[in-house]
Amino acid sequence: MTRKIKVLIVEDDRINQMVLSKMLELRGITTVCVSDGFEAVKYFGEHDDLDIVLMDIQLPGMDGIETAAKMRKIEENKVKRTPIVALTAYFSTGNESEFLSQDFDDHAVKPVDYEFLIRLIKKHTIAS
């Protein structure tokens, strides 16, 4: 039996949360949504069953870059590294390397191309 992929969606826009969740769940992927970086760090620290994190960059309070850094700090005490994918509407060719040199493993541009996102999730989870 194949284990379901579990995704943490860190997104402050409720509509984006619902759309992403529904799209992924229709593909058999389990989702958990949180609305800000503080909730994301708390959830991440308390759960070892996540396969990947989809992280909005523009979050209230603590942005996605700071949130990802805190998650990587938590992982210092964990066995596995969980891929973190940056989701941003503010993408340019110049900042791709900025995201990937931070604590992110990949990125996707909003509005999200769902087929691309599914391939991205599989790329970072199926082989692990």
Domain coordinates in residue numbering, the chain: 6-125
> From its phi and psi, is residue 127 left (phi > 0), alpha (psi between -120 and 50) or beta?
alpha
Task: Return mean pLDDT, the chain.
Answer: 89
Strands ordered across the beta sheet of 106-109: 30-34, 6-10, 52-56, 84-88, 106-109
Q: Is the pLDDT of residue 122 over 80?
A: yes
- Whole-model pTM? 0.91
* pLDDT tens-digit series, residues 50-95: 999 999 999 999 999 999 999 999 999 788 899 999 998 866 555 5
Kindly report the CATH number that applies to the domain delimited by 6-125: 3.40.50.2300
